[in-house]
Structure 1
Amino acid sequence: MNLAFLASHGGSAARHLTQACRAGELDAVPVALISNNSRSPALDWAREEGLKTAHLSGAKYPDPDDLDAAILTFLREADADLLILSGYMRELGPRVLGAFAGRVLNIHPSLLPRHGGRGMYGDRVHLAVLEAGDTASGATVHLVTAGIDEGPRLAQEEVPVRPGDTLETLKARVQAIESGLMLRAVRDLIADLRLTENRI
């Protein structure tokens, strides 16, 4: 399976999964990375890793349909099989979601369906958990669909919310489990896809 990543900033999931591929912990090949941010550190990192890269954004393609088409063209040229959103701060269009249905993954820093949806990302999620008085938080890997954070959940791991937790302490606890959770989810999805393909 060829992995493609979409990142807006540092691309931590892309880095961890690529490292896992290089170490033989994940039977896949990282091939490409797209960023909507021309200054994204993930773009520089991906170039150094030998991945095919592209800066594709609304600034280049003001029409969302054109941007959707450009992303899909790039992914097809890169021969991508599976898409991983690695801190990608834009919605994917219907062409990409249709072409890669069941093959686009995202990780969200809460126990979905709690604290998901439009506008819920990054620090906002952890603050919402604290403000709600939740006793547990965590991370969820889910398939990406047209609805924000509404796709089928593939993997979920819980961490405690401790008395006296701050945004920083809770965020650090959740981030500590994200890499391993994403790796397991990608590994399981690849195994499921291969099994399905062998049955056809």
Structure 2
Amino acid sequence: MDNPFPALPPAIRLLGLAGAPGVGKSTVAAALAAEHGLAVVPMDGFHYADVELARRGLLDRKGAPETFDAEGYAALLRRVRGREPSVVAPSFDRDLEQPLAGAIAVPAAGTVVTEGNYLLLDEPRWHAVRAQLDEVWHLHVDDDLRQERLVARHVRHGKTSEEAQAWVARVDEPNARLVDAAARRADRVVDLTGWAAYPAPPAG
């Protein structure tokens, strides 16, 4: 499949990419950024750090909606939308599995892409996030393929295959069902199944 993306809407400030864990949000964001020279602000930069998740008793649910600082995310997007100068967003290091503060300089002009699971979630604290976005695309891929890639990603970042499969079943898939239930609120649904630029999982 060639590039499956719709044309970028003209003159928008914030484009959101939503979708279930493992669907390819960061891959799509990187492709759009490379093609159009856009900045990318990931929702994952607003993960609570493990020390805070432990304090809240949420460490074993890391990645669920309540393990993110949605209010902080909405506040930063509001600043981006307002084209404030010198906005610097956090990123997320997948090797450390921790957010990194002050990592992404966001330009005051042009379109900015933000990507994350819960941009369309029908909950008050996430409504404030959606309110800052001009358009949101819900990304979809075949579930078996998505889960295979998700397990492979967890293994690359330190879990055994058994641990990865258990985490996907216990944490990621309930989150995926929440995300997919919110797809009706998207401006567009983009099917990535068969997109050649999305890398296949490693063999073995």
Q: When the two structures are superposed, what TM-score results if normalisation uses the length of structure 1?
A: 0.38
Greater relative contact order structure (CA < 8 Å, 6+ sep): 2
Q: When the two structures are superposed, what TM-score results if normalisation uses the length of structure 2?
A: 0.37
